[in-house]
Chain A
Amino acid sequence: MFIADIRKDFYEVVANQRVVLLVAPDIDALCACKILQALFHCDQIQYTLVPVTGWQDLGTAFLEHKEQFRYFVLINCGANVDLLEMLQPDDDSIFFICDTHRPVDVVNVYNDTQIKLLIKQDDDLSVPSYDDIFRDEDEEGEDSGNESDEGSEPSGKRRRFDEGAVERRIERQRAKREWEARRREILFDYEQYEYHGTSAAMMFFELAWVLTKDTKDMLWWAIIGLTDQWVHDKITNMKYVTDIATMQRHVSRHNHRNEDEENSLSIDCMRISFEYDLRLTLYQHWSLYESIYNSCYTSCSFKLWTLNGQKKLQEFLADMGLPLKQVRQKFNSMDMSIKENLRDVIEESSNKYGMKDIRIQTFGVHFGFKNRFLASDMVHATAALLESAEKDDSETDNFIKALDALSRSNIDRLHSGIALAKKKLIAIQQTVASCICTNLILSQGPFLYCYLMEGTPDVKLFSKPMALTLLCKYLLKAFVHSTRNKRCKLLPLVMAAPKDVEKGTVIVVGIPPESETSDKKNFFGRAFEKAAESTSSRTLHDHFDTSIIELKTEDRSKFLDALITLLS
């Protein structure tokens, strides 16, 4: 059921208890976890933090902790599946779920005792009403009761009553069949598309605000959570802009509170500011040229995998009057005179080259003399740390490292994250370029398909779901810009990359078609399930995002054929 008052029904319930935090591996969940940890530290609430990477992990973690803990808080996992059936908990376990995955499973919505959803009820949900899906079982008993009663009537009247009873029974059965057919249809429509709701970090920041314990650190984490949803293309543009406006109100409230006229704050205090900044990834920590070369938006608009595109880029830089020597050196070392009006100059020139949205609304943070970061920088750095493909790091280690990088006291870790993110972006750019140039993307009819061979450079990076999804999106965007086939521009993309060479598995990701006004609804979750069933391929639907699965390499072709027949 949905929680009405998050302070009374959630925080005060767990205030004197020990809780288990089960956290999914994405940046929004990490930020939400940080905010909740800070709140728990303030009020000295004991908790156990368990990172979980998939449904199996969730089950094991639950079994380990169910003896000692009654309260479980699930962050960005658990809403889109019937949790009680999956975990089989005892009657006194209570689950608080704060998840951005939609649609929320109907059992989770209508369960009154054990499942509490920390989601706003009007958050884009359109849950079917109770009567459409659940039907009381009493009516069955009445039917048979009536029949047996009527059966004991004296035989004279029996035949007449029998006919009436038989007719009523047929009528009831027909109504029941109709109701069930409609129920199946409603559930199918409801669960067909997968999409995302409001960021979990923002939900917990609101909790902190209601408790008046919100600090600038928590506000910054909430902003990072929101930006993660935008960077990884989980929410629509409209929603992003609306949420930015909400965050902007909080930012101005905090800035107002602290800056007096003459008593200025120490330079070490955190200052968050609203920026209408460029869409060039990591440009303040890289050189301007590299950033333009490796950002998805500019790379696709210029078509930098072609020679023509690179010439256009040189023209663009010349048009702005930026000397190549300046543009290729570290951003911090560029001439001040160039840096001053950089954003306006770039915006003007990019309008001429057809890039109308080079600037995006976002936030930046500034503390100490050296440290300035944009929210998207933090997202890329933390994502790179979370999915770093080092051999000797377990997933829990990566999780803890990424979590640490979000604190202000671990700037070194953040910088190492930024270095990893740069490598990842370069790898993505090169893979995209090679895929387009060698025509690796094939149209299979209802969707586009691309398979990364094992020998591709940096293919280990793409065995992780977030990195592969990012590559997928860039690739689709680049393809749309490079192809002339009008029909292909509207197709979704399915991508497969080797995950584990010894076990012989591939990871498969499906994303919706690329369009300006896309509502980011993804139907591949259900499609993958059905295709796997019909061909009995050996698949593992372990990720919290149902559109990401693992598959045995040998079953790849029959799985694909099934998918093609299913979707055409």
Chain B
Amino acid sequence: MDASEVEFLAEKEMVKIIPNFSLDKVFLIGGDLGPFNPGLPIDVPVWLALNLKQRQKCRIIPPEWMDVEKLEEMRDLERKEDMFTPVPSPYYMELTKLLLNHASDNIPKADEIRTLVKDIWDTRIAKLRLSADSFISQQEAYAKLDNLTLMEINTIRAFLLDTLNCMYKLRSNLQ
């Protein structure tokens, strides 16, 4: 799977916007959207929110977890624990990147949020590397992947599986 495919899947998440136009209910295959009324908040998928934002037709409201204090708590919790802690959202990395790139003027303290999310990501990837390393060196049979997001799994998937395949070949050749 490609990172861009994961981002594409992330765009299905819902986010709150405040439109400045009015439109009747829209019937799409994936579900219904609307009706849109100027000034009234409404939940839409991220792909639509970004498109409307770029056409200056709405204002994006940051999700609840995208707040400096909450993210600071999560980061500190992540650093304390050995295992993976629950994430703010299954697509937290992609959503942060998309929303901060296109709508940073609607998100307060955008720079700090970017730094905090990067810190959380770095800590989790470091833990992932450590656990993958111990998995291979101690030849464990299974690993628990609680609370890992698709993006993190995706970063390690290709490499880990290839490594395991190579090691299997080497071991079977030895015998």
Interface residues of A (CB under 8 A from B): 41-44, 212-213, 215, 258, 260, 262-269
Q: Which of B20, B57, B105 contacts A265 (CB 8 A)?
A: B105
Contact string against A for B residues 93-127, beta-carbon threshold 8 Å, 1 for contact and 0 otherwise: 00000001000110111110000000000000000
Contacts of A266 in B (CB 8 A): 100, 104-105, 107, 110-111
Q: Which of A213, A265, A269 contacts B56 (CB 8 A)?
A: A213
- Please report the C-alpha to C-alpha distance between residue A266 and residue B109 in the assembled complex, in whole angstroms: 6
Closest B-chain residue to A214, C-beta based?
B56
**10 more CB-based (< 8 A) A-B contacts, given A43-B55, A269-B105:** A41-B55, A212-B20, A262-B108, A263-B108, A264-B108, A265-B105, A266-B105, A266-B111, A268-B104, A269-B104
B110 near A42 with CB under 8 A, answer no
Interface centre among B56, B100, B110 (most CB of A within 10 A): B56
B55 near A42 with CB under 8 A, answer yes
Interface residues of B (CB under 8 A from A): 20, 55-57, 100, 104-105, 107-111
7 residue pairs, one from A and one from B, having the closest CB atoms: A263-B108, A266-B110, A266-B104, A42-B55, A213-B56, A266-B111, A269-B105
A42 near B56 with CB under 8 A, answer yes
User: How many residue-residue contacts, CB under 8 A, span A and B?
Assistant: 30
Contacts of A263 in B (CB 8 A): 108-109
- Please report the C-alpha to C-alpha distance between residue A243 and residue B143 in the assembled complex, in whole angstroms: 68
Contacts of B107 in A (CB 8 A): 266
Query: Smallest Cβ distance from A210 to chain B, in angstroms?
Result: 14
Closest A-chain residue to B113, C-beta based?
A266
- Please report the C-alpha to C-alpha distance between residue A264 and residue B105 in the assembled complex, in whole angstroms: 9
- Please report the C-alpha to C-alpha distance between residue A267 and residue B107 in the assembled complex, in whole angstroms: 12
Contacts of A212 in B (CB 8 A): 20
Contacts of A262 in B (CB 8 A): 108
Query: Smallest Cβ distance from A369 to chain B, in angstroms?
Result: 10
- Please report the C-alpha to C-alpha distance between residue A213 and residue B100 in the assembled complex, in whole angstroms: 21
Contacts of A269 in B (CB 8 A): 104-105
Interface centre among A215, A258, A265 (most CB of B within 10 A): A265
Query: Smallest Cβ distance from B62 to chain A, in angstroms?
Result: 11
Contacts of A260 in B (CB 8 A): 108
Residue contacts A-B, CB under 8 angstroms, 18 given:
A41-B55, A42-B55, A42-B57, A44-B55, A213-B56, A258-B105, A263-B109, A264-B108, A264-B109, A265-B104, A265-B110, A266-B100, A266-B104, A266-B105, A266-B107, A266-B111, A268-B104, A269-B105
Contacts of A265 in B (CB 8 A): 104-105, 110
- Please report the C-alpha to C-alpha distance between residue A42 and residue B57 in the assembled complex, in whole angstroms: 8
Contacts of B105 in A (CB 8 A): 258, 265-266, 269
Contacts of A213 in B (CB 8 A): 56
Query: Smallest Cβ distance from B39 to chain A, in angstroms?
Result: 13
- Please report the C-alpha to C-alpha distance between residue A264 and residue B110 in the assembled complex, in whole angstroms: 9
Query: Smallest Cβ distance from A200 to chain B, in angstroms?
Result: 22
- Please report the C-alpha to C-alpha distance between residue A215 and residue B53 in the assembled complex, in whole angstroms: 12
Contacts of B110 in A (CB 8 A): 265-266, 268
- Please report the C-alpha to C-alpha distance between residue A367 and residue B110 in the assembled complex, in whole angstroms: 14
B111 near A267 with CB under 8 A, answer yes
- Please report the C-alpha to C-alpha distance between residue A44 and residue B105 in the assembled complex, in whole angstroms: 23
Query: Smallest Cβ distance from B44 to chain A, in angstroms?
Result: 18
Closest A-chain residue to B57, C-beta based?
A42
Query: Smallest Cβ distance from A175 to chain B, in angstroms?
Result: 59
Query: Smallest Cβ distance from B112 to chain A, in angstroms?
Result: 9
- Please report the C-alpha to C-alpha distance between residue A43 and residue B51 in the assembled complex, in whole angstroms: 11
- Please report the C-alpha to C-alpha distance between residue A89 and residue B134 in the assembled complex, in whole angstroms: 78
Query: Smallest Cβ distance from B59 to chain A, in angstroms?
Result: 12
Closest A-chain residue to B107, C-beta based?
A266
Query: Smallest Cβ distance from B122 to chain A, in angstroms?
Result: 20
Contacts of A44 in B (CB 8 A): 55
Contacts of A43 in B (CB 8 A): 55
- Please report the C-alpha to C-alpha distance between residue A44 and residue B52 in the assembled complex, in whole angstroms: 12
- Please report the C-alpha to C-alpha distance between residue A268 and residue B110 in the assembled complex, in whole angstroms: 9
Closest B-chain residue to A212, C-beta based?
B20
Closest A-chain residue to B114, C-beta based?
A266
Query: Smallest Cβ distance from A309 to chain B, in angstroms?
Result: 48
- Please report the C-alpha to C-alpha distance between residue A266 and residue B104 in the assembled complex, in whole angstroms: 7
A215 near B104 with CB under 8 A, answer no
Closest B-chain residue to A270, C-beta based?
B105
Contacts of B56 in A (CB 8 A): 42, 213, 215
- Please report the C-alpha to C-alpha distance between residue A436 and residue B20 in the assembled complex, in whole angstroms: 61
- Please report the C-alpha to C-alpha distance between residue A213 and residue B57 in the assembled complex, in whole angstroms: 9
Closest B-chain residue to A39, C-beta based?
B56
Query: Smallest Cβ distance from B76 to chain A, in angstroms?
Result: 22
- Please report the C-alpha to C-alpha distance between residue A213 and residue B56 in the assembled complex, in whole angstroms: 7
- Please report the C-alpha to C-alpha distance between residue A267 and residue B110 in the assembled complex, in whole angstroms: 9
Closest B-chain residue to A265, C-beta based?
B105
Query: Smallest Cβ distance from A331 to chain B, in angstroms?
Result: 26
- Please report the C-alpha to C-alpha distance between residue A264 and residue B108 in the assembled complex, in whole angstroms: 7
- Please report the C-alpha to C-alpha distance between residue A262 and residue B108 in the assembled complex, in whole angstroms: 9
- Please report the C-alpha to C-alpha distance between residue A501 and residue B34 in the assembled complex, in whole angstroms: 66
Closest B-chain residue to A38, C-beta based?
B56
Interface centre among B55, B100, B105 (most CB of A within 10 A): B105
Contacts of A264 in B (CB 8 A): 108-109
- Please report the C-alpha to C-alpha distance between residue A269 and residue B111 in the assembled complex, in whole angstroms: 11
Query: Smallest Cβ distance from B114 to chain A, in angstroms?
Result: 8
Query: Smallest Cβ distance from B115 to chain A, in angstroms?
Result: 11
- Please report the C-alpha to C-alpha distance between residue A375 and residue B159 in the assembled complex, in whole angstroms: 50
Closest B-chain residue to A258, C-beta based?
B105
Closest A-chain residue to B109, C-beta based?
A263
- Please report the C-alpha to C-alpha distance between residue A268 and residue B114 in the assembled complex, in whole angstroms: 12
Query: Smallest Cβ distance from B103 to chain A, in angstroms?
Result: 10
- Please report the C-alpha to C-alpha distance between residue A258 and residue B110 in the assembled complex, in whole angstroms: 13
Query: Smallest Cβ distance from A367 to chain B, in angstroms?
Result: 11
Contacts of A215 in B (CB 8 A): 56
Contacts of B57 in A (CB 8 A): 42
- Please report the C-alpha to C-alpha distance between residue A524 and residue B109 in the assembled complex, in whole angstroms: 57
Query: Smallest Cβ distance from A69 to chain B, in angstroms?
Result: 24
Contacts of B100 in A (CB 8 A): 266
Closest B-chain residue to A43, C-beta based?
B55
- Please report the C-alpha to C-alpha distance between residue A264 and residue B112 in the assembled complex, in whole angstroms: 11
Query: Smallest Cβ distance from B86 to chain A, in angstroms?
Result: 27
- Please report the C-alpha to C-alpha distance between residue A92 and residue B140 in the assembled complex, in whole angstroms: 79
Query: Smallest Cβ distance from A269 to chain B, in angstroms?
Result: 5
Contacts of B109 in A (CB 8 A): 263-264
Closest A-chain residue to B101, C-beta based?
A268
- Please report the C-alpha to C-alpha distance between residue A215 and residue B54 in the assembled complex, in whole angstroms: 11
Interface centre among A43, A258, A266 (most CB of B within 10 A): A266
- Please report the C-alpha to C-alpha distance between residue A495 and residue B110 in the assembled complex, in whole angstroms: 55
Query: Smallest Cβ distance from A41 to chain B, in angstroms?
Result: 7
- Please report the C-alpha to C-alpha distance between residue A212 and residue B108 in the assembled complex, in whole angstroms: 23
